[in-house]
């Protein structure tokens, strides 16, 4: 797999920022496969209110353009987020390869709309070495074949 893919990483913003450090690590790791278009999602400075100078409409436009241009979508779904759910649905319509990652430790129940979707690649992990394996397999098999 080449390192020049365009990767859309989705993670909660207004849904809650408690996993931002994990997003940062995932984004760094994804960097070996290509350019992560949404690097700001791992930014510790970006709060649930953050990026005050940018309008919701501008964010929506920019993110959808990135999503359309992406070769692969990786969504961290542990923190429930309307935006992440919406992006998964759009990516599905666009027939992008999608990997959903669920951190399995907090006992938080995932939405049935993700957990029960037979066509969605959903992988659970409990530590970083596991999530890295899921990511490697996704890029080596699924993305490579598309």
Site for ligand 6IA in 53-72 (CB under 6 A): 59, 63
Closest approach of ligand 6IA to the CB of residue 145, in Å: 25
Q: Which is nearer to ligand 6IA, 78 or 139 (CB)?
A: 78
Give the span between the Cα atoms of 76 and 13, in whole angstroms: 11
Residue 36 phi, psi (nearest 5): -85, 115
Closest approach of ligand 6IA to the CB of residue 56, in Å: 7
Residue 67 makes CB contacts below 8 A (sequence gap 6+) with 8, 73, 87, 90, 91, 94, 96
Q: Which residue is nearest to ligand 6IA (CB)?
A: 83
Residue 122 phi, psi (nearest 5): -115, 125
The site for ligand 6IA (CB under 6 A) is made up of: 10-15, 38, 40-41, 49-51, 59, 63, 81-84, 87
């Amino acid at each position: 797999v080449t390192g020049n893919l365009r990767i859309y990483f989705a993670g909660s913003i207004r849904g809650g920022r408690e996993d931002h450090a994990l997003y940062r690590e995932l984004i760094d790791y994804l960097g070996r496969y290509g350019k992560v278009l949404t690097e700001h999602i791992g930014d510790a400075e970006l709060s649930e209110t953050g990026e005050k100078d940018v309008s919701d409409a501008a964010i929506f436009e920019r993110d959808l353009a990135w999503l359309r241009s992406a070769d692969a979508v990786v969504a961290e779904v542990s923190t429930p987020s309307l935006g992440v759910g919406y992006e998964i649905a759009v990516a599905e319509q666009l027939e992008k390869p999608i990997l959903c990652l669920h951190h399995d430790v907090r006992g938080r129940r995932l939405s049935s709309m993700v957990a029960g979707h037979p066509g969605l690649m959903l992988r659970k992990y409990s530590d970083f070495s596991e999530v890295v394996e899921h990511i490697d397999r996704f890029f080596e098999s699924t993305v490579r074949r598309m």
